[in-house]
Structure 1
Amino acid sequence: MESGDPLVSAEWLLKNFDAPDIRVLDATYFADFTNPPETGRQAWARGHIPGATFFDIDHVADDASPYPHMLPDAVKFSSRIRKLGVGDGNRIIVYDQNRFFASARVWWMLRVMGHTDVHVLDGGLAAWVEAGGGLEDLPPVVSERHFTPRVRSDLIMDSAGLEKAVGSARLAIIDARPDGRFFGRVPEPREGLKSGHIPGSVNLPGSALITEDGHMKSARQLANLFKDPMAPTVTTCGSGVTAAVTALALARLGNWDVAVYDGSWTEWASDPSRPIATEA
């Protein structure tokens, strides 16, 4: 059973940084459609927490999927993460430089693969620097470790399962996209996709979970945003990244069993036979 807070503070990481079992991953990701000035890997190369390896969600992914950064199978995941020096017995701390984008996604991926000793650095790299942590721009020397996957399929939602749940009151569906896209007022950034939402889903933009300085809101603040934080829940977004931020917030409230719809709106709206709603 997972419990406690899925996030750690920069102060905690500074205090425990030299523990031999700790591994730090930089999961910075910028979506292409935002026209970022650099890639996540370039941001990592420019400056990262000492010893942190770069976790590329577009590389540790299902290469055969037509959708972006989909979760790979256990064999591919374990093969690629071993090369990052991460394996059994490690306490993993994931951070990013973009407001939990995509540290929460990597936190979820590791948990799907059965690794429970994983936390997200609250506030990301900025919090580390503010707390007095140093940076380096050299890649770390990595030794491969054995990683044993123990897949938790209950943390993954696919389109078939979600189609069965639509119209049912047994599962809360929370969409983390901005409300304009959710209600069909604003076009999707991915060409060819209609905007709107999965019927029966509710909108809670991922930005509502984050403070102005890039930390996740407190448990008390988060509790006011969810109708029933402990309800069986699946989260969705544009492509399965922001949805993991919602799952992280619900874990902070004690619900560790939230499933993420991996394909999210990119997959759902790609099939014209699936229903799309635009009303409240």
Structure 2
Amino acid sequence: MAQDDPVVSAQWLQQHLGQLDIKVLDASWYMPQESRDPWQEYQVAHIPGALFFDIDGIVNRATDLPHMLPSEEAFAAAVSALGINNHDKVVVYDGKGFFSAPRVWWMFRVLGHDKVWVLDGGFPQWQASGFNIASSCPDDAVLKSKAANSAVETAYNGKLANAATFQTEFRPQLFWTLEKVKQNVAAKAHQVVDARAKGRFDGVMPEPREGVRSGHIPGTKCVPFPEMFDGAQTLLPADELSKKFEQEGILLDHPIVVTCGSGVTACILALVWKSCMLFLDISFETLTLPSSL
């Protein structure tokens, strides 16, 4: 496993599973219309030793907007409750293969933790590889996952949580606010890339959330996230990924901002862009993600 490579294979994880400094997180999350319960599915089947990371729970509790980045204090409290410290290597996966796990990968990175990877192909690839699956959920795993959510709530209620074992360091260059995006519409200093389906991008398909307008940010280009994978929901080779951006007129050596509906699938493009940057030997710090749209 290379430090800079954003993914690990199921084979790599199987070989290293159980090491004390390897922490595995199930970050499964599904769109509302899918009617799937990730917490329930985790309790039925997950990678042995994995803990559940609740994308709907470890969020900014001071806003009604979905999936807004939590404060440093709240994130540190939640990750500490999961038993993770800054020396640990974190591997994140999800139940669709490559969908919501990159969101948690980005959260760790924007808050200062580089030792984080996404399982290429996720839980489906783990299953297809024939590796062991845990079919029961230990009480300790349930308590830790619930404690993580409670720690976020405690932090936003202005109360002190238990002493954090995980320390954060916010990286503003990986995070854009709505105001920055509005300024960029006029300045056009950054390329903006949308991960949603073309129909949603063009405004001919409705948004999945009631009351949200269709269409896209002016000047944005569309690279739908499903185009990043092969039939097994594993990442395409870096040269093929690069071509996907180039075909849309996106300059790989120029800074980009990625966006989507609520800040989940945009992180897939963030991870893909990092892979492309490694392939082309370009600094990844040219990429940011607007998580406050």
Q: When the two structures are superposed, what TM-score results if normalisation uses the length of structure 1?
A: 0.88
Higher mean Cα deviation, 129-138 or 204-213?
Answer: 129-138
Following TM superposition, by how much is the alpha carbon of 1:125 offset from its aligned partner in structure 2, in angstroms?
A: 0.8
Q: 2:289 aligns with which of 233, 238, 260?
A: 260
Residue 278 of structure 1 is matched in structure 2 by: none
Deviation (angstroms), 1:3: 5.7
Distance 1:20 1:230 in 2: 38
Over the matched positions of the two proteins, sequence identity in percent amounts to: 36
The residue number in structure 2 matching 1:249 is 272
1:27 maps to which residue? 27
The partner residue of 1:153 within 172, 196, 205 is: 172
Q: How does 1:52-201 map to 2 (within 5 A)?
A: 52-140=50-138, 141=140, 146-201=165-220
Q: Which amino acid aligns with 2:45?
A: G
Q: 4+ runs of 1 displaced by more than 6 Å?
A: none
Q: Give 3-state SS (helix, strand or coil) of 1:174's partner.
A: strand
Which residue pairs with 1:203 in the alignment?
222
Paired AA for residue 253 in structure 1: C
Counterpart AA for 2:105: W
**Contact 2:202/2:215 (CA < 8 Å) preserved in 1?**
yes
Letter in 2 for 1:222: L
How many residue pairs get aligned? The number is 261
Greater percentage in helix = 2
Report how far residue 96 of structure 1 moved: 0.5
Asked if the contact 2:242/2:276 (under 8 Å) is kept, the reply is yes
Secondary structure of 1:253 counterpart: helix
**CA contact 1:166–1:199 (8 Å) conserved in 2:** yes
Q: 1-side partners of 2:3 and 2:20: how far apart?
A: 23
Shift of 1:46: 1.2
Moved more, 184-193 or 155-164: 184-193
Aligned counterpart, 1:7: 7
Unaligned runs of 5+ in 1: 265-280
Alpha-carbon separation, structure 1, partners of 2:135 and 2:67: 26
Change (3 A) 1:123 1:184: same
CA–CA distance in structure 1, aligned partners of residues 200 and 128 of structure 2 = 34
Please tell me whether the aligned partners of residues 167 and 199 of structure 1 are also in contact (alpha carbons under 8 angstroms): no
- Which shifted more, 202-211 or 106-115? 202-211
SS at structure 1 position matched to 2:187: coil
TM-score (structure 2 length as normaliser): 0.85
Distance 1:3 1:138 in 2: 32
Instruction: Tell me how large the CA RMSD over aligned residues is.
Output: 1.7
- Aligned residues of 2:69 and 2:107 also touching (Cα < 8 A): yes
For residues 222-251 of structure 1, what are the alpha-carbon distances to aligned partners after superposition, in whole Å with 9 as ceiling and x for unaligned? 010113233211100000001000001001
